[in-house]
Amino acid sequence: MPTARPDHQRRLLDLQARDTAIDRIRHQAAALRADPEIAAAQERSTATQTRREQAQAEVDDAGEALAAAEHAVEQVATRIQRNQQRLDAGTGSSKDLTALQHEIGTLGSRRSDLEDAELAVMERVETAQAALDESTVGASEAAGALGALTEVRDARLRDLSGEFEREKAARAEVLAGIDDAALVSLYEKLRSAHDGVGVAPLQGSRCGGCMLELNPKDLAAIRAAAEDAVVRCEECGRILVRA
Q: Does 235 bind Zn ion (CB under 5 A)?
A: yes
Q: Does 197 bind Zn ion (CB under 5 A)?
A: no
Q: Does 80 bind Zn ion (CB under 5 A)?
A: no
Q: Residue 185 CB: number of other CB atoms within 10 A? A: 10
> What's the rounded Cα separation, in Å, for the pair 154 and 163?
14
Residue number with CB closer to Zn ion (114 or 233): 233
Q: Does 231 bind Zn ion (CB under 5 A)?
A: no
| Window 206 to 225, contacts with Zn ion (CB under 5 A) | 207, 209-210
Q: Does 201 bind Zn ion (CB under 5 A)?
A: no
Three-state SS annotation for 99-155? HHHHHHHHHHHHHHHHHHHHHHHHHHHHHHHHHHHHHHHHHHHHHHHHHHHHHHHHH
Tell the smallest beta-carbon distance from residue 236 to Zn ion (Å): 3
CB burial string 192-211: b at 16+ within 10 A, e below: eebeebbbbbbeeebbbbbe
Residue number with CB closer to Zn ion (86 or 242): 242
Q: Residue 98 CB: number of other CB atoms within 10 A? A: 12
Which residues make Cβ contacts (< 8 Å) with residue 24, sequence separation at least 6?
none
Binding piece for Zn ion, criterion CB under 5 A, among 55-63, 90-98, 108-116, 231-239: 231-239
Tell the smallest beta-carbon distance from residue 231 to Zn ion (Å): 11
Pick from 25, 233, 239, 241 the residue near Zn ion by CB under 5 A: 233
8 Å CB contact between 68 and 75: no
Tell the smallest beta-carbon distance from residue 202 to Zn ion (Å): 9
Q: Does 241 bind Zn ion (CB under 5 A)?
A: no
Tell the smallest beta-carbon distance from residue 237 to Zn ion (Å): 7
Residue type, 153: R
Residue numbers of the site for Zn ion (CB under 5 A)?
Answer: 207, 209-210, 233, 235-236
